[in-house]
Amino acid sequence: MQVAVVVTQSPDAVRTYIEETGLPFDILIDRTRTVVKAYGVWHKMGLDAWNIARPAVFLIDRSGAIRYSFIADKQTEFPSSAEIDSALDTVAPTI
């Protein structure tokens, strides 16, 4: 299994965050927002933010099929660890 995070922030902000936290997975920077638009999580404008990606989690199997997805309605919403663990247990053999 491989974990990657896609963000739309600036490379400098991401680099600083990685250095401060020591994240154990890859972070991919989507400056053009091509990926976040393709996955339907681009948030053009809202009360809490503009031109960003909504928090989202996708579990994608080896064939490229999305086996689980969570897309937040607002920037402060995230799935629980238990929900992600449960989804991983369900789809682990395929990813």
Q: Are strands 26-29 and 4-7 parallel, antiparallel or unpaired?
A: parallel
pTM above 0.85, yes or no: no
Residue boundaries of the structural domains of the chain: 4-94
Given a contact cutoff of 8 angstroms between Cβ atoms, the answer to whether 69 and 58 are in contact is yes
The CATH superfamily assigned to 4-94 is: Glutaredoxin (3.40.30.10)
Q: pLDDT tens per residue, the chain (95 residues)?
A: 778 889 888 899 888 988 898 888 888 999 899 999 999 998 776 655 567 788 899 998 888 889 999 999 888 899 998 998 998 888 876 66
Host H or E run for residue 48 = none
